[in-house]
Amino acid sequence: MMKIGPDDAIVVIDVQNDFCPGGALAVPEGDAIVPEINRIVRDFPVRVFTQDWHPQGHLSFASSHPGASPLSTIDMPYGPQVLWPDHCVQGSDGAEFHEDLHLEPADMILRKGMRPEIDSYSAFFENDKTTPTGLEGYLKTRGVQRLTFVGLATDFCVAWSALDAARLGFAVRVKLSACRAIDLDGSLEAALERMRAAGVELI
């Protein structure tokens, strides 16, 4: 049983159709976490949901780089970038939240990845690690000191968000039973190690 206090928040990361089975960038069992998220989300006094929201032709899409194959990596001005299949395109069905996810409890829905020239895994910063989304200010204004992360995918958007939250001074938990991973070339174990090293509590 998780202890939840008045300064706790839950951040539900990218539980969207394209990351669920049948989607353009499906995470194995991505939809299996929805019932657990629905069960716990109302227990938190502050609830934030994030939504990947890419314009057509986003530079993180393999289709934007002639001859590049999905899941290959290139160097961008801000560092290495995995090239993904087109996914979570603004206004598409794939960008919508999973139909069974309860959105009513959300205090805030944060859209990310909207700038065509830079990807955004983290809920706090673009992938340059310096351009903020505004989430830090919102949470601090609400008096939040501890964050619990759930959602998709453990080894990318969840891990990057948790690591940034720890770097910003929040106490951080990741509820692994309410996350699923892509696990691209060992990326899950690497992400878990990085989170442990940063003091993130894996529960």
Rg (CA), the chain: 16
How far is it, in rounded angstroms, from Cα 201 to Cα 104? 27
Q: 179 catalytic, yes or no?
A: no
Q: Under DSSP, is residue 67 helix (H, G, I), strand (E, B) or coil?
A: coil
Contact assessment for residue 19 and residue 150, using Cβ atoms and an 8 Å cutoff: no
Q: Which of 65, 75, 52 is nearest to 160 (CA)?
A: 52
The total of other beta-carbon atoms located within 10 Å of residue 122's CB is: 26
Catalytic pick from 112, 119, 155, 175? 112
Interior CA angle at 97 toward 42 and 45, to 5°?
A: 20
Give me the sign of the Cα torsion angle 13, 121, 64, 114: positive
DSSP for residue 27: P
In the residue annotation, 157 being an active-site residue is answered as yes
Q: Are 98 and 16 in contact (CB under 8 A)?
A: yes
Answer for the pair 70, 106: CB distance below 8 angstroms, yes or no. no
Residue 179's identity, in one-letter code, is C
Active site residue 119: no
* List 157, 164, 175, 179, catalytic entry: 157
Residues classed as catalytic: 14, 112, 157
